[in-house]
Amino acid sequence: MNIALPARAKLNLDLDVIRRRADGFHEIRTNMQAVALHDLLEAAPATSSTLVIDGLPAPAAGDNIVLKVLAEVERAAGRPLPTHFHLHKRIPPGGGLGGASSDGAAALRALAAIHRLDLNVEEIARKIGADVPFFLAGGRALGEGIGEQLTPLPTELAWFAIAWPGIELSTARVYGAWDETKGGPPNALQRAAEHVDPRVQDFAKRLGHEWQMTGSGSAFFKRCASRDEGLLAIHPLECWTALTHSVGAWA
């Protein structure tokens, strides 16, 4: 059995950091929306596990979340699950768009399907990363705790222009900088991201106030009334851009 799954990106329509916990993680409150922009993950049973990556840059095989998910699923299943993966990267890395977490969720779903596993995928997803549970279902949700406590919300059809300056930010570094900088709405992490890399601040100024950072950065988005308005928004920009739209839950 072969399977191909889109690993969709997400936008944080807002993001508030509540506090830094004693364990070092940060409690947040954020409205997350899945969008059509996606990586594509193909998976098939094999004699040994391999991962091929093309498209935009991604962590090397040993550090890639897809193989980390495979190792976690093998532990839960109690047996090897040799699988060949082909990951087509379309979501910019380190942009706050959730590409790696979405790849992880797609790998988890693919493994359960092709190896016919009866596992608690939600529990495994929480072990992999805070955003991974969101990508098991997609759509729109309110995320609380460290982002893993999800309340599904209705998806509203909307167009989004996305711009990425080619800066790959470390989520851990940005959250660490929040402890010093704090920050306010609509994204409490923007000031921290600008502290980690001042080029983010320059990028934000060039885009204008209608653009908003997603996640821990460095990508920004602008809500648009139509596809044509979105095309006009990205046309003059000299950076990686995309025009996408919201998508509902897929599970």
Catalytic residues: 10, 131
N residues, the chain: 251
One-letter identity of residue 67: L
What order of strands is seen across the sheet that includes strand 240-245? 212-213, 220-224, 159-164, 240-245
- State the burial class of residue 86 (Cβ atoms within 10 Å of its Cβ: 0-12, 13-18, 19+): middle
CB 162 within 8 A of CB 221: yes
Measured torsion, CA atoms of residues 178, 181, 184, 188, in degrees rounded to the nearest 10: -20
CB 56 within 8 A of CB 94: no
3-class secondary-structure state, position 132: helix
